[in-house]
Amino acid sequence: MPHPNPYWARNLRYLTILLAIWFAVSFGCGILFADALNAIRIPGTGFKLGFWFAQQGSIYVFVVLIFVYARLMNRLDRECGVAEE
């Protein structure tokens, strides 16, 4: 059954994808799999990968995710004719 409001359905799809990435970099790479990832080193640095995700990488990804969401939604606003002046 098609969703009665296509704008909202698209928004929910963006949210699902972006929040999955949000969860993967922080709770996944930074916590649940941190020990396993710590076996890998970022070449040329002292960073173990799990530790780096927990203290640096996840934060960079968070910033990018928000700007990506803002862009996607601005485009969607225009496509659906609900963009604000």
Partner 1 sequence: MDVRLWTFILVGLSFALYIGVAIRSRAGSTKDFYVAGTGVSPLANGMATAADWMSAASFISMAGLISFMGYDGSVYLMGWTGGYVLLAMLLAPYLRKFGAYTVPEFVGERYYSQVARVVAVACAIFVSFTYVSGQMRGVGIVFSRFLEVDVTVGVIIGMGIVFFYAVLGGMKGITYTQVAQYCVLIFAYMVPALFLAVMLSGTPIPQLGFGGADPESGVFLLDKLDGLHRELGFTAYTDGTKSTIDVFFITAALMVGTAGLPHVIIRFYTVPRVRDARVSVGWALLFIAVLYTTAPAVAVFARTNLLDTVAGQPYEAMPEWFSKWEDTGLITFEDKDGDGNIRYVGDADANELTIDRDIMVLANPEISRLPNWVVGLVAAGGLAAALSTAAGLLLVISSAISHDLLKRALKPDISEKGELLAARISAAFAVVVAGLLGINPPGFVAQTVAFAFGLAASSFFPVIILGTFTRSMNREGAIAGMLSGITFTAAYIIHFRFVNPAADSPANWWFGISPEGIGTVGMLINFAVALTVSKFTSAPPASVRELVDRIRVPGGTG
- The rounded distance, in Å, linking the Cα atoms of 31 and 76 is 34
Indicate the residue among 2 and 70 with the shorter CB distance to partner 1. 70
Binding site for partner 1 (CB under 8 A): 5, 7-8, 11, 15, 18-19, 22, 26-27, 30-32, 34, 38, 42, 45-48, 51-52, 54-56, 58-60, 62-63, 65-67, 69-70, 73-74, 77, 80, 82-84
Question: Considering the complex, what minimum distance in angstroms separates the CB of residue 63 from partner 1?
Answer: 5
Residues 6+ apart with CB under 8 A from 2: 9
- The rounded distance, in Å, linking the Cα atoms of 54 and 60 is 11
